[in-house]
Homo-oligomer: A and B are copies of this chain.
Amino acid sequence: MATLICPEEHSPVTDAEAIRKACKGWGTDEKALISILGHRNASQRKIIRKTYEEMYNEDLVKRLESELSGHFEKAVYRWMLDPQERDAVILHVAIKEKPILDYTSIVELSCIYSPHDFLSVKCAYQARYKRSLEEDLAQHCTGDLRKLLVSVVGIYRYAGDEIDAKLAKSEADVIYNAIKSKEFNHEEIVRIITTRSKTQLRATLNRYKDDYTSSLTKVIRRALTKSGTDEESVTRVIVSRAEKDLEVIKELYYKRNSVSLDHAVSKHTSGDYMDFLLTLLGNKN
């Protein structure tokens, strides 16, 4: 469930005029921008962008970039792009503009989509950067990480709901044996994780839990160091999911941390950036 609150009807012309006014003269009226753009869904924002360009002969996204700054600018910029284009930008930043490859974003984005929808993101990536996501990714990592990530991103998984119980059993055993001998990079673990359908994989993990009375995710968590949260991750998750399933994420966040996500955001961010995120989280302003 989405958290975004937006009117069923809106006038793109009125919106474009109000945005223009907020950007004009000295300073920018960030509150006005948030009150409009923080309450429009993807197709409404697309129409506003088009209308604005027709009315003022100026690209709205570029104008906003020049008016705003810092994390607020980044968040608004991502919010204004088409969802597929936005995720292509996030993936590109994760691969090419970080000192070390930001694999968290890559895994996250490749997992929240259906194979079909993730393909649209890959097509948006190709249209924008004239290269495939896979080739950029493969070029920017090596060894086990490459083996895992290129397959996670590349393979067009089956999306059906069938479960092969025998297979779940045999592959749970394969994983158990590989982990027992501490081969976390075992070729078969990579194959199972990267190629099986989500439903089948879930069955295998449940089987693992039943047979070996421990959940695989716990084993893996022990094997990985946890990376800290930063503004970029907060922006990514809230902007990408506000129109999708942010309500569910809020619930899970609360269950795990006994603190609401809204509270955490207002504690760790500030100013227009905070106001914008809280708006996308469904707070009225």
By a beta-carbon cutoff of 8 Å, the part of chain A in contact with chain B is 119, 122, 126, 130-132, 134-135, 138-139, 142-143, 146-147, 150-151, 154-160, 162, 187, 191, 194-197
A191 to B147, CA, bound (A): 10
Across-interface contacts of A135 in B (CB, < 8 A): 155, 157-158, 195-197
Nearest B residue to A191 by beta-carbon distance? B138
CB-contact partner of A132 in B142, B150, B187, B197, under 8 A:
B197
Across-interface contacts of A147 in B (CB, < 8 A): 147
A146 to B126, CA, bound (A): 26
Across-interface contacts of A160 in B (CB, < 8 A): 126, 130
Assess whether A134 is in contact with B195, with CB atoms less than 8 Å apart.
Answer: yes
Counting every copy of the chain, the complex holds: 2
A160 to B119, CA, bound (A): 16
Min CB distance A252 to B, Å, is 29
Assess whether B146 is in contact with A150, with CB atoms less than 8 Å apart.
Answer: no
A105 to B166, CA, bound (A): 29
27 intermolecular pairs with C-beta atoms under 8 Å apart: A126-B160, A130-B162, A131-B158, A131-B197, A132-B156, A132-B157, A132-B195, A134-B155, A134-B157, A134-B195, A135-B155, A135-B157, A135-B195, A135-B197, A138-B194, A139-B195, A142-B187, A146-B187, A146-B191, A147-B147, A150-B195, A151-B151, A151-B154, A154-B154, A154-B155, A154-B156, A156-B156
Min CB distance A80 to B, Å, is 26
Nearest B residue to A142 by beta-carbon distance? B187
A24 to B31, CA, bound (A): 80
